[in-house]
């Protein structure tokens, strides 16, 4: 019976893959049904995994095992229930407390982390001596890195009108941004094609058996 | 209406891309692959870590990015097992749990002596991203009191002495977005000084690259299917990334031909307009 | 009052998190550690809220017979089935209310929840995103035109990166002697990614970070309040 369900599983996978692909021809009921099943299963998965991975091990089990030592966990539990009250028409204001708690935690932490990792460390990594590089290719590259970062940041400064020397610097910044957007497009194209390759490896391999698995 | 007629029906483009990907998969050309510095750095990080070290591999992706990230994750996990590293699997995305389990299932036959709880453990998914990683750095046992099966981590030998990141050799995040590798860099590396590396989807690679710098916020980076194929070459195991690279190459070529054709058409039309 | 107390809470928690970065010792370190543990639990409830909210929205769509309302029945049924299977027989090795589902696992090969995930959900999600391969090709044909110097830069960088990231790029310039190795297409791609692209992305990263830092301060100080909603 297991073998039958394995085969059925592959056919189900193939059916739903083709149902989604049918959208490329035009929108149709097969696609719409598949799309809604996707949404429903996705929500169900998140729901179940949140219960089994977070609420049971980090909340219910500690409370059940040793309430005396873990009673403090009732605070996030109450805040969590207050969050759920958002579903009631008049419960909106109650949910502000857990939201305020979460936003406060994230803002405080994000403030510190972004200052260190995305500003200070990035600036430090840019303050290099380009001429210390081993060969002339890297020297050119490092000069580009320093110039590109500084001019790019200047481009994002909108409080001053982009004209004169400032405007020219910002313009150079745009050129670097354009190269980086082009590279990003190249990588995005690569990523999307990879996903299609994955699908066709399933259809041609697991389902049709044309290519070895 | 005339304008519309002139335009190519995009379904022809779709069909060309479909064939461009499908045919190389069937015919298998076997084009060569070159290894980049960033991928080699990740490989060397794993290679130079002493046996029996404990490492964290975080599965921060879901099936949407599986074709890109699964092959590199499998290659890294395999190398870790070959080097006798003890792996602690975690996930910042709920579906990452199943992704990690799937890879272990695939490698079980190759490493029959591996024991769950001794050589590897799957701690499962936790929400909260940056805040949760910060909390793991303070007290990992408070965040993960149990593994994904509900077993207390006190009963798992691999978790002996693991209270925070201090006894961990490195963390590698396979990341499809947020939360993922960015948060690991910001917290695990920049706050707790834990060596951090990872693999990302092609889409997020450019935005993560600035972390590969003199400050070693990231030690190397595996980007997209190409990066995965390079890694497979380094560990001498040809997998789905390598077999997909022919299709990748042809599809890229087709997209480039599309871009060039559109530009040639544009320039011809522009010249005609000027003549008029 | 309904807004002032939450604003005060945000302020205190935000400041506490910042102080504990500088003074990680007691009491700040231990309090913020507890706050982080609470955050995880509240995040769990937030995810549950999201799924229940989706249920509620779809339920209303069906109840008021909005356009294509029949399809939303499928959404709700799929949701309920997935949740019910997870609750009754659990997932992977987690037991559910009806036990570990050993009998049913022996029958179909895995737990019903995992069976749906492996054989339906995975394929649906992977295919949904793979559609973008077709659309990006179509977009490249329609929109990628070198009209200005900037767009030419973008286009050239994209083509070089795409070529360099393939085996064809490796083959095309494979004949180049070692002394001119820097003209080898994969090397050109590596150069573009390592220097000008990193420079551009770093500028974006610094700009975005300054934005996030600014909004964090505004939120902590109570200047930015939109997250609390109306009334």
Q: Give me the mean pLDDT over the B67-81 stretch.
A: 97
Kind of pairing, strands B54-60 and B195-200? unpaired
Could you report the predicted ipTM of this complex, rounded to two decimals? 0.93
Task: Give the Cα separation of B195 and B188 in Å (integer).
Answer: 8
Predicted pLDDT at B33: 85
Res A90 pLDDT > 90: no
Secondary structure (3-state) at A90: coil
DSSP bridge pairs for A23: none
What range defines the domain where residue A195 resides?
128-213
pLDDT digits 0-9 by tens, C27-47: 888 999 999 999 999 999 999
Give me A149's structure tokens: 């970062």
Which residue in C44, C142, C197 is closest to B262 by CB distance? Answer: C142
Nearest residue in chain A measured CA to CA from B207: A184
Q: Give me the mean pLDDT over the B80-97 stretch.
A: 97
Touching C: A residues 118-177, CB under 8 Å: 118-119, 122-123, 125-126, 137, 140-142, 144-149, 151-153, 155-156, 173-177
Task: Give the Cα separation of A202 and A18 in Å (integer).
Answer: 11
pLDDT digits 0-9 by tens, B144-198: 999 999 999 999 999 999 999 999 999 999 999 999 999 999 999 999 999 999 9
Domain contains A189: yes
Predicted pLDDT at B58: 98
Predicted pLDDT at B2: 43
Res B75 pLDDT > 60: yes
- Distances in Å between the Cα of B53 and the Cα atoms of A11, B75, B78, B104, B275 are 43, 18, 15, 18, 72
Predicted pLDDT at B103: 97
Residue B7: which pLDDT band, with cuts at 50, 70 and 90? low
* B131 neighbourhood in chain A, CB within 8 Å: 105-106, 109
pLDDT digits 0-9 by tens, A128-153: 999 988 889 999 999 999 999 999 99
Task: Give the Cα separation of B250 and B239 in Å (integer).
Answer: 19
In chain B, what percentage of residues exceed pLDDT 70?
A: 97
Cα end-to-end distance, chain C, whole Å: 11
Domain ranges of chain C: 144-220
Inter-residue contact A18 to C127 (CB < 8 Å): no
Task: Give the Cα separation of B149 and B146 in Å (integer).
Answer: 8
Task: Give the Cα separation of A47 and C158 in Å (integer).
Answer: 40
Q: Give me the mean pLDDT over the A193-204 stretch.
A: 96
Give me A125's structure tokens: 């990594």
Predicted pLDDT at A143: 97
Domain contains A20: no
- Distances in Å between the Cα of B36 and the Cα atoms of A21, A37, B227, B230 are 34, 41, 8, 8
Task: Give the Cα separation of C228 and B14 in Å (integer).
Answer: 45
pLDDT digits 0-9 by tens, A25-38: 999 999 999 999 99
* A50 neighbourhood in chain B, CB within 8 Å: 94, 127
Q: Count Cα atoms within 13 angstroms, Cβ side, for C225.
A: 15
Domain contains A199: yes
Predicted pLDDT at A213: 60
Domain contains A4: no
Q: Do the chains contact at B247 and A106, CB–CB below 8 Å? A: no
pLDDT digits 0-9 by tens, C45-95: 999 999 999 999 999 999 999 999 999 999 999 999 999 999 999 998 889
Give me A147's structure tokens: 């110039």
The region that residue A71 occupies, defined by phi over 0 for left and psi between -120 and 50 for alpha, beta otherwise, is alpha
Inter-residue contact B139 to B163 (CB < 8 Å): yes
Q: Which of A154-158, B27-31, C72-76, C114-118 has the lowest mean pLDDT?
A: B27-31
User: Which DSSP letter does residue B213 get?
Assistant: S
Q: Is B276 exposed, middle or buried (0-12, 13-18, 19+ CB in 10 A)?
A: exposed
User: Which DSSP letter does residue C120 get?
Assistant: I
Task: Give the Cα separation of A40 and A37 in Å (integer).
Answer: 5
Domain ranges of chain B: 2-22+248-275, 37-239
Overall fold of domain B37-239: Rossmann fold (3.40.50)
Give me B47's structure tokens: 């290679």
CA B141 to chain centre: 26
Which residue in C133, C154, C199 is closest to A149 by CB distance? Answer: C199
What's the gap in Å between the CA of B128 and the closest CA on chain C?
Answer: 5
Residue C231: which pLDDT band, with cuts at 50, 70 and 90? low
pLDDT digits 0-9 by tens, B17-70: 999 999 999 987 877 888 999 999 999 999 999 999 999 999 999 999 999 999
Report the candidate in C167, C169, C120, C131 with the shortest Cα–Cα distance to residue B18.
Answer: C131
Inter-residue contact B155 to C66 (CB < 8 Å): no
What's the Rg (C-alpha) of chain A? 27
Predicted pLDDT at B5: 46
What's the gap in Å between the CA of C145 and the closest CA on chain A?
Answer: 12
Using CA atoms of C39, C43, C45, C49 in order, give the dihedral in degrees to the nearest 10: 140
Q: Do the chains contact at B150 and A56, CB–CB below 8 Å? A: yes
User: Which residues lie below 8 Å from residue C159, measured CB to CB, with a gap of 6+?
Assistant: A186, B256, B259
Domain contains A162: yes
Q: Give me the mean pLDDT over the A35-63 stretch.
A: 96
Which residue in A8, A97, A180 is closest to C196 by CB distance? Answer: A180
Report the candidate in B78, B93, B50, B61 with the shortest Cα–Cα distance to residue B199.
Answer: B61
* Chain B contact partners (≥3 CB pairs within 8 A): A, C
Task: Give the Cα separation of B133 and B164 in Å (integer).
Answer: 10
DSSP bridge pairs for B121: B88
Predicted pLDDT at B6: 56
State the count of interchain CB pairs (< 8 A) between A and C.
417
- Total domain count for chain A? 1
């Amino acid at each position: 019976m297991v073998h039958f369900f394995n085969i059925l599983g592959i056919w189900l996978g193939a059916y739903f893959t083709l149902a989604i692909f049918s959208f490329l021809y035009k929108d149709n009921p097969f696609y719409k049904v598949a799309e809604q099943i996707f949404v429903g299963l996705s929500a169900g998965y998140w729901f179940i995994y949140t219960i089994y991975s977070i609420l049971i091990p980090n909340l219910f089990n500690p409370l059940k095992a040793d309430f005396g030592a873990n009673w403090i966990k009732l605070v996030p539990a109450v805040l969590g229930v207050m969050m759920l009250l958002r579903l009631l028409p008049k419960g909106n204001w109650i949910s502000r407390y857990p939201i305020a708690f979460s936003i406060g935690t994230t803002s405080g932490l994000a403030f510190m982390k972004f200052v260190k990792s995305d500003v200070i460390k990035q600036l430090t990594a840019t303050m290099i001596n380009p001429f210390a590089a081993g060969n002339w290719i890297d020297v050119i590259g490092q000069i580009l890195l320093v110039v590109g970062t500084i001019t790019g940041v200047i481009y994002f400064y909108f409080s001053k009108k982009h004209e004169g020397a400032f405007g020219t610097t910002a313009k150079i910044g745009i050129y670097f941004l354009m190269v980086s957007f082009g590279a990003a497009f190249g990588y995005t194209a690569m990523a999307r094609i990879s996903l299609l390759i994955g699908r066709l490896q399933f259809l041609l391999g697991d389902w049709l058996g044309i290519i070895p698995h | 209406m005339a304008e519309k007629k002139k335009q190519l029906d995009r379904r022809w483009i779709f069909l060309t891309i479909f064939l461009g990907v499908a045919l190389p998969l069937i015919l298998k050309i076997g084009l060569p692959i070159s290894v980049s510095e960033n991928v080699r750095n990740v490989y060397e990080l794993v290679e130079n870590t002493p046996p029996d070290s404990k490492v964290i591999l975080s599965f921060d992706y879901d099936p949407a990015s599986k074709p890109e990230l699964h092959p590199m994750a499998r290659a890294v996990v395999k190398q870790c097992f070959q080097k006798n590293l003890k792996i602690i699997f975690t996930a910042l995305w709920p579906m990452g749990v199943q992704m990690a389990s799937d890879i272990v299932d695939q490698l079980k036959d190759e490493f029959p002596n591996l024991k769950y709880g001794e050589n590897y453990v799957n701690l499962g998914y936790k929400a909260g991203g940056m805040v949760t990683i910060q909390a793991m750095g303070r007290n990992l046992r408070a965040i993960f009191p149990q593994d994904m099966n509900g077993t207390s981590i006190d009963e798992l030998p691999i978790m002996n002495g693991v209270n925070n990141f201090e006894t961990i050799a490195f963390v590698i995040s396979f990341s499809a977005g947020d939360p993922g590798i960015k948060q690991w860099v910001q917290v695990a590396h920049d706050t707790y000084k834990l060596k951090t590396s990872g693999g990302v989807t092609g889409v997020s690679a450019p935005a993560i690259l600035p972390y590969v710098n003199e400050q070693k916020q990231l030690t190397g980076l595996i980007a997209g299917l190409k990066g995965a194929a390079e890694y497979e070459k380094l560990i001498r195991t040809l997998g789905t990334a390598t077999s997909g690279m022919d299709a990748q190459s042809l599809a890229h070529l087709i997209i480039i031909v599309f871009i060039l054709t559109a530009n040639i058409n544009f320039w011809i039309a522009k010249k005609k307009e000027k003549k008029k | 009052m309904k807004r002032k107390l939450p604003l005060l809470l945000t302020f205190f928690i935000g400041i506490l998190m910042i102080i504990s970065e500088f003074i990680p010792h007691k009491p700040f370190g231990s309090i913020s550690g507890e706050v982080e543990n609470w955050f995880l639990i509240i995040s769990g409830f937030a995810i549950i809220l999201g799924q229940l909210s989706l249920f509620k929205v779809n339920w209303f769509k069906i109840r008021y017979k909005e356009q294509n309302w029949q399809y939303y029945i499928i959404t709700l049924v799929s949701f309920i089935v997935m949740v019910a299977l997870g609750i009754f027989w659990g997932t992977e090795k987690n037991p559910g209310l009806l036990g570990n589902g050993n009998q049913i696992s022996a029958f179909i090969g895995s737990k019903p929840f995992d069976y749906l995930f492996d054989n339906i959900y995975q394929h649906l999600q992977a295919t949904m995103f793979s559609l973008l391969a077709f659309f990006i090709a179509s977009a490249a044909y329609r929109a990628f035109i070198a009209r200005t110097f900037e767009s030419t830069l973008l286009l050239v960088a994209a083509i070089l990166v795409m070529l360099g990231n393939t085996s064809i790029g490796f083959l095309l310039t494979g004949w180049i002697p070692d002394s001119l190795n820097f003209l080898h297409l994969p090397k050109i791609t590596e150069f573009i990614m390592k220097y000008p692209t990193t420079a551009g992305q770093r500028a974006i990263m610094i700009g975005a970070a300054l934005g996030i830092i600014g909004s964090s301060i505004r939120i902590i100080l109570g200047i930015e309040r939109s997250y609390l909603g109306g009334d």
